Amino acid sequence: MFVDIAKIKIKAGNGGNGAVSFRREKYVAAGGPDGGDGGRGGNRVFEVDDNLSTLADFRYKRKYTAPNGEDGSGGRKNGRRGEDLIIKVPRGTIIREAESGAVMADMSDGKPFIAAKGGNGGWGNPHFATPTRQVPRFAKNGIPGEEWEVSLELKLLADVGLLGFPNVGKSTLVSVVSQAKPVIANYHFTTLTPVLGVVSLGEGSSFVMADIPGLIEGAGDGVGLGHEFLRHVDRCRLLVHILDAAGSEGRDPIEDFEIINRELEKFDPELAKRPQIVVANKVDLADDEQLERLRSYFTDKGYEYHTMCAPICEGTSELVSAIWNRLSTLPPIKRYETESIPLEMFEKQNDKGFTIRVEDGVYFVEAPWLLKILQRTDLDDYESLQYFQRVLTSSGIIDALRERGINEGDTVSIYAVSYTHLTLPTSDLV
């Protein structure tokens, strides 16, 4: 089954906890703290698998969790890090954060993408030893791994997209100019999934052609199969519009052309502006008057116009050459740029609870929603730092610290961030 949309939950592994331990050895008095650090949690990584052509596997498994890091132990033994786990997707898959729709990655170039980073391991108690705190009886817990709900959308990587009503000859064209073997029959919706074919011109020159099924009037609103497959036209550099020149099914080819372009406009205005070559197929069934009407209409509108009879390869080589020449003038296949996940999304969550615990003058603050903001905040950037500080104030964390009796000079620890508390909340975060 062809599936090109899926939604899953991914979670990286939590970092292991740091250990509270003290060196105990004969003839060694007050050996000092020796608790090891926790191991880092495993990442959740997406990788391209060119053997995959669908997202169907994600219909049966919806949650993917990486292993946690191991806790530290005595003798300064650090915990083992969690194993990174790989999620395989077809090339061309777009990964978005589900709630905001922000693009996290475009899996087109084959590079692995760490979608959820494992949490850092917690520090063992040696990290908290100071001249005034020589016997720290606490350690730091590991940081939770990132957790996201992501939507996956497969957008095929094709240079050329074939448009046209059912049964106009799109599949036949793909079959005669490439090695693809789509199902061909004289009835509507023979093609139920997009079909890719590589068209070779020799000497290493080639392009990818996609047969896009299901385009009829109302496709932009979900009629037929068009709403499901119009997304696969999105990356195409060039559109080739196939028409039934003879109107053999009682339709007007010019009206068909205008209908499908209106559906493109309705689905995505940018698609309607994409360069198009118009091809009149089934010329063996059309008379001279019909062919002249089509030639005159499309050339007057400025379209490059060709004729062919695909089953007998009449005009197909000329069309392939014209497509190649046109592609040489067009920019590369569209790639989606990554987008920032809006931090305000986490700040506006209904559950904004937090906990504060105090150990030997260190104030530990924990809040899952705050962690997501922290993970996306560049503390070296002044504006980002200011935003994070405003969140601490607006959420009531600063007031809660004061209620717990925090004093100037005390240490506040918020997951991987620690700072010295000053009179103002704009403390020096490090």
Helices (H) and strands (E) in the chain, counts: 10, 18
Is 273 among the domain residues?
yes
pLDDT for res 382: 86
Tens-place pLDDT, residues 292-319: 999 999 999 999 999 999 999 999 999 9
The type of residue at 324 is: W
Do 178 and 58 belong to one domain?
no
Do 136 and 204 belong to one domain?
no
Three-state secondary structure call for residue 283 = helix
For residues 191 and 199, give the distance between their C-alpha atoms in angstroms, rounded to a whole number.
19
pLDDT for res 378: 82
Tens-place pLDDT, residues 130-142: 887 888 888 989 9
Q: For the whole model, what pTM was predicted? A: 0.79
Is 319 among the domain residues?
yes
Residue 194 has pLDDT above 90, yes or no: no
CB 46 within 8 Å of CB 112: yes
Residue 348 has pLDDT above 80, yes or no: no
Do 184 and 317 belong to one domain?
yes
Q: How confident is the model at residue 346 (pLDDT cuts 50, 70, 90)?
A: confident
Do 101 and 224 belong to one domain?
no
Q: Return the CATH number at 124.
A: 2.70.210.12
Alpha carbon of 23 to those of 16, 74, 126, 128, 134: distances in Å? 21, 8, 11, 15, 13
Do 143 and 189 belong to one domain?
no
Burial tier of 243 (Cβ tally within 10 Å: 0-12, 13-18, 19+) = buried
* Portion of the chain with pLDDT greater than 70, in percent: 89
Is 79 among the domain residues?
yes
Tens-place pLDDT, residues 49-61: 998 888 988 988 9
Do 311 and 382 belong to one domain?
no
The runs of H, that is alpha helices, within 328-409 are 344-347, 368-375, 382-394, 397-403
Do 243 and 130 belong to one domain?
no
Strands 276-281 and 238-244: parallel
Do 130 and 2 belong to one domain?
yes
Tens-place pLDDT, residues 199-242: 988 777 899 998 877 555 554 444 445 556 677 788 889 999 99
Is 59 among the domain residues?
yes
Domain that holds residue 365: 345-430
